[in-house]
């Protein structure tokens, strides 16, 4: 009887796995699997090679979290190749996105909702940062994917009023341990989260559950820390532990604040004062700690003296330190970013040993990905959207606020917790304005997009709002068809750009006509004559709107010399509005309306 009950329980769990969830998961794996083929065996940087060497020699260094390096070691027991680690990262990313789509879909059997979710997952996977990072061996990637899973559990918690099952509490505790131990600043995120959970437990009278969860988390955290105690670990490198003070000293020296000869003499032993001044840059300490002239032995001997000097002159010259800190933390809040390091490596750093240069299984695929990545970095809009963490942070907040308004539920603001707490955790000591430290911003923006897109499709069912929302949705789809068709014809098949533009426009107009007729304005015309007249009218309207587009572009760019991108955006807004009203009142005008006005 017990076996029968177990079989029934297993069958029920299997039934809960929808075919569409499997489709989303497989699609993500296939797209990112193609990226792995292009960048085989994986994208390896200097940090990646250092950690890889540790997994091969069994000697660990504390300047990378031991837990993550040991985790890589365990993964490579399956297959001793960087590819195995990349495969695990891809699987974690695919699982997280699939779960987020599932929880936002709320068991709805709406085919359009499912199609939009699938399309959004495909778009997410072809964003260069996402497809490059999925196969890049950095601790920051698995850390960010752990935060993405944390966001999923927040979404699920909102649906079930945070009444998780016992096994889910175990998974959450393991997830919290991973966030704590994969990156050092993860401890701040989980510390703040546990504090919020504490007050929530007090208010909701769940204190016993909280204590049990906290104890389980602490036990698992202690187990996770065991590798640090049991494995052979070399002493830490002083220049890494003193990085913040070395950097602040550079700021004080560059500003001429350190004047005492005795202090200058101590500093000069560590690094020549002039080199220190010249190498100082506010956005990163790497130019100092990786300087060949840095005397690490002197740094080790004078470490305490260095700290005392920095503290003394920082108190005397607080504005120097404030300015230094202001510039260093710009990546967190400023949308005007310089060229950032480590945005996405497309070539490998070669270490002296265990070097893994990219050996593409498909050279054509590799070159395509690299060209696409480079294009997105050169384009103003994609660079701002894909590679500026502050923009992603602000956009995520705006989109989630819209979701809260649409759903009339402020709890969805909690989805921002992993991203906000990560930004807070970086404020005390950010070593460099490195994109990977805030990769969760991009992932949160993706989650916000899925949430908003899903809610958008739901609202399309509304009798009043539906037609307008459907019009905007299909307008977006036709725009994508227009751009993609043009790009394929002009770039891949090398068709003349004017001919490509005309073909792309015709295809977009055809798709727009069909979708507007069937789904937006629900045209009832059936005869060939009526349909032909309707299509010709639609075509005339679209040609007219093309003329409006050209006039706006000419006036804005040629006559007033405004920014071409801003003018194009404004032009598209005007054209979309004009097309809607002309389609509603001229092309697809209902017969009863004609009778009323006759």
- CA-wise closest residue to 353 among 91, 46, 97: 46
* CB 198 within 8 Å of CB 217: no
Per-residue pLDDT at 309: 94
Domains of the chain by residue range: 17-233+353-458, 238-328, 463-597
Q: Nearest Cα to 144, choosing from 384, 395, 520, 445?
A: 445
Residue 289, preceding peptide bond in cis (omega within 30° of 0)? no
pLDDT value at residue 519: 72
Q: What pLDDT, on a 0 to 100 scale, did the predictor assign at position 334?
A: 86
* pLDDT score of 222: 96
- pLDDT tens, per residue, the chain with 598 residues: 555 555 555 545 555 567 899 999 999 999 999 999 999 999 888 788 889 999 999 989 888 899 999 999 999 999 999 999 999 999 999 999 999 999 998 777 778 789 889 999 999 999 999 999 999 999 999 999 999 999 999 999 999 988 899 999 999 999 999 999 999 899 999 999 999 999 888 887 788 889 999 999 999 999 999 998 898 888 766 677 788 899 999 999 999 999 999 999 999 999 999 999 999 988 778 788 888 899 888 988 898 999 999 999 999 999 999 999 888 888 888 887 655 544 444 444 333 344 566 788 888 898 888 888 888 887 777 888 898 899 999 999 999 999 999 899 999 999 999 999 999 999 887 767 788 899 999 999 999 999 998 988 888 777 677 777 777 777 777 777 776 776 677 666 777 766 776 787 788 778 888 877 777 776 666 667 777 787 788 788 878 877 877 787 678 767 777 765 566 567 767 877 887 787 777 777 654 444 444 4
Q: What is the pLDDT of residue 253?
A: 93
Helix, strand, coil share (%) of the chain residues, nearest 5: 75, 0, 25
Instruction: Please list the alpha-helical segments (H only) found in 106-185.
Output: 111-126, 128-133, 139-159, 166-182
* Total Cβ atoms within 10 A of residue 319: 10
342: phi > 0 → left, psi -120 to 50 → alpha, else beta; which?
left
Phi, psi of 375 (to 5 degrees): -65, -45
Specify the pLDDT at position 400.
97
Those residues whose C-beta lies under 8 Å from the C-beta of residue 399, and which sit 6 or more positions away, are 445, 448, 449, 451, 452
Contact 284, 324 (CB under 8 A): no
Q: How many helices (H) and strands (E) does the chain have?
A: 30, 0
Q: What is the pLDDT of residue 358?
A: 72
- pLDDT score at 595: 42
The whole-number pLDDT of residue 567 equals 64
Residue 505 pLDDT: 76
């Amino acid at each position: 009887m017990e076996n029968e009950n177990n079989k029934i329980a297993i069958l029920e769990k299997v039934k809960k796995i929808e075919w569409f969830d499997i489709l989303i998961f497989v699609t993500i794996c296939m797209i990112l699997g193609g990226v792995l083929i292009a960048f085989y065996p994986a994208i390896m940087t200097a940090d990646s090679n250092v950690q890889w060497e540790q997994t091969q020699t069994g000697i660990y260094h504390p300047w990378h979290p031991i837990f993550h390096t040991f985790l890589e070691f365990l993964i490579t027991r399956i297959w001793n190749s960087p590819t195995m680690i990349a495969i695990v990262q891809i699987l974690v990313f695919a699982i997280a996105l699939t779960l987020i789509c599932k929880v936002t879909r709320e068991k709805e059997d709406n085919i359009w909702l499912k199609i939009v979710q699938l399309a959004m997952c495909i778009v997410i996977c072809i964003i260069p940062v996402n497809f490059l990072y999925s196969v890049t061996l950095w601790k920051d990637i698995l850390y960010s994917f752990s935060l993405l899973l944390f966001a999923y559990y927040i979404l699920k918690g909102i649906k079930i009023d945070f009444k998780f099952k016992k096994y889910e509490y175990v998974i959450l505790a393991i997830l919290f341990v991973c966030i704590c131990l994969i990156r050092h600043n993860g401890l701040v995120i989980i510390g703040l989260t546990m504090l919020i959970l504490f007050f929530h437990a007090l208010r909701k009278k769940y204190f016993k559950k909280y204590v049990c969860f906290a104890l389980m988390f602490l036990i698992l955290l202690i187990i996770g820390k065991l590798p640090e105690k049991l494995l052979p670990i070399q002493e830490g490198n002083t220049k890494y532990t003193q990085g913040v003070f070395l950097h602040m000293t550079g700021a004080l020296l560059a500003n001429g604040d350190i004047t005492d000869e005795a202090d200058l003499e101590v500093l000069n032993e560590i690094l020549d004062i002039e080199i220190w001044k010249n190498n100082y840059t506010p956005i990163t300490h790497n130019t100092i700690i990786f300087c060949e002239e840095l005397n690490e032995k002197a740094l080790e001997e004078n470490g305490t003296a260095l700290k005392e000097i920095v503290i003394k002159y920082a108190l005397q010259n607080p504005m120097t330190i404030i300015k230094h800190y202001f510039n260093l933390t710009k990546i967190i809040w400023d949308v005007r970013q310089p060229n950032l390091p480590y945005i996405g490596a497309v070539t490998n750093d070669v270490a002296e040993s265990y070097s893994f240069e990219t050996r593409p299984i498909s050279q054509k695929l590799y070159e395509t990905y690299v060209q696409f990545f480079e294009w997105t970095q050169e384009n103003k809009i994609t660079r701002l959207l894909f590679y500026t963490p502050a923009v992603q942070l602000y956009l995520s907040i705006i989109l989630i606020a819209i979701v809260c308004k649409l759903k009339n539920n402020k709890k969805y603001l909690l989805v921002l917790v992993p991203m906000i707490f990560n930004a807070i955790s970086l404020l005390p000591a950010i070593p460099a304005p490195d994109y990977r430290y805030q990769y969760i911003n991009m992932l949160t923006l993706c989650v916000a997009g899925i949430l908003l897109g899903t809610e958008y499709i739901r609202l399309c069912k509304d009798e009043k709002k539906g037609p307008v929302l459907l019009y905007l949705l299909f307008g977006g789809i036709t725009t994508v068809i227009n751009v993609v068709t043009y790009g394929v014809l002009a770039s891949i098949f090398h068709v003349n750009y004017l001919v490509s533009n005309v073909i792309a426009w015709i295809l977009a107009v055809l798709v727009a006509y069909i979708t507007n007729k069937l789904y937006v304005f629900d045209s009832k015309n059936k005869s060939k004559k009526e349909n032909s007249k309707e299509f010709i009218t639609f075509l005339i309207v679209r040609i007219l709107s093309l003329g409006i587009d050209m006039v706006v572009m000419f006036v804005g760019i040629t006559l007033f010399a405004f920014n071409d991108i801003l003018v194009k955006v404004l032009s598209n807004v005007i054209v979309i509005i004009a097309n809607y009203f002309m389609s509603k009142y001229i092309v697809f005008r209902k017969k009863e309306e004609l009778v009323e006005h006759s």
